[in-house]
Amino acid sequence: MIYRCIYVLSVVLIVEFIAVSAFGQNASDIRLKDYRPVSTFNIPKSHVVKAKYPVIDVHSHDYPDTDQGVDEWVKTMDAAGIERTIILSYKTGAGFDSVVARYARYKDRFELWCGFDYTGYQTAGWQQHAVAELERCWKAGARGVGELGDKGLGEFYSAPTPGWGMHVDDPRMKPLFEKCAQLKMPVNIHVAEDTWNYLPGDSINDGLMNADDWKVDMTKSGILNHNQLIKTLDNVVKDNPNTTFIACHLANTNSDLNTLGRMFDAYPNLYADVSARYSEFAAIPRFVHDFIEKYSNRILYGTDMGVRGEMYQITFRILETNDEHFYYHNYFSHHWPLHGLNLSDRTLRKVYNGNARRIMATYRKD
């Protein structure tokens, strides 16, 4: 009897295996996080190895651990058409000095930006030290500040000391931004996350899988929500008209770019980079095409996704081509398909390098 049961069970398992092999999994058994669709549409597929025009990447970080890593990165940049990369180091003090040393061999290929030193920010007069350190970093080679970061609890990106509880529009920050204006140092600011990361992780959140990775915990005491953080950006740009600001990731307003558009209309000192939000805006290509074409003087190319050649090629395909319905699961956790924007040559030149050159012209002599 026991052997008969084992035999029957074995037959059932074999039949199930054959069924799965022939017809795939049962859809009701597939978890959303394991869903990796492959497009079956017989439509044009582009492989853009090198950008159409020279590129200035305004949003990257100190990824390599070794000199060899930097050398390999430069080779990858050459192959992709990346003329120059801005390293947003977050750092001050010895940390920033180490970054300067790492890229010293390639001064024509990398530009270094520092952070703010928030040491003692809860005591009166701390700004004197912070301004002095900003000037020191500038003399050491820093040409901008960033990436400043606030996801609700205050400035925490700058190293070695974060500024918890202090937002970019805090009056205590104003002397630093005034010094940036004086030194002609642009400021790259990250505020909030995109809207999906504030929504419940339920069946109607269409950005669910990405939101699960980057969900903002709004139960934390004193945390600002998305709209409040966007307001801090609005305030600081308005209150410091002589300082150039770059809102990274399209100011994390990808679900409603009209918000960023209104700020562009109001503040000539505001720019935005497209870094690390390709999967968000490539989901709505016609709207974003029109948005970037309209604000072509204010949008900057950026990556924030590492140093691999494939990464650059993905961004070029999205910005340059008219391709439809494709996926890059290794880079983006959204489950929706991507589409090319097919930006005009005029706009591509501005986004790839023209706008960055205009900003750089305020502080470079070469």
The pLDDT value recorded for residue 232 is 98
Q: Place 23 in a pLDDT band, splitting at 50, 70 and 90.
A: low
Average model confidence (pLDDT) across the chain: 92
The pLDDT value recorded for residue 365 is 58
Model confidence pLDDT, tens digit, residues 302-320: 999 999 999 999 999 999 9
Model confidence pLDDT, tens digit, residues 260-290: 999 999 999 999 999 999 999 999 999 999 9
Model confidence pLDDT, tens digit, residues 195-216: 999 999 888 888 888 888 889 9
The pLDDT value recorded for residue 189 is 98
The pLDDT value recorded for residue 363 is 80
Q: Place 31 in a pLDDT band, splitting at 50, 70 and 90.
A: confident
For the residues 9-35, what does the mean pLDDT come to? 60
Whether residue 37 has pLDDT greater than 50: yes
Whether residue 8 has pLDDT greater than 90: no
Q: Is this prediction's pTM over 0.85?
A: yes
For the residues 236-259, what does the mean pLDDT come to? 98
Whether residue 144 has pLDDT greater than 60: yes
Distance CA 225, CA 149 (A): 14
Model confidence pLDDT, tens digit, residues 334-353: 889 999 999 999 999 999 99
Complete domains list, the chain, with CATH: 1-30 (no CATH), 41-360 (3.20.20.140)
The pLDDT value recorded for residue 24 is 65
Model confidence pLDDT, tens digit, residues 151-189: 999 999 988 999 999 999 999 999 999 999 999 999 999
Whether residue 11 has pLDDT greater than 50: no
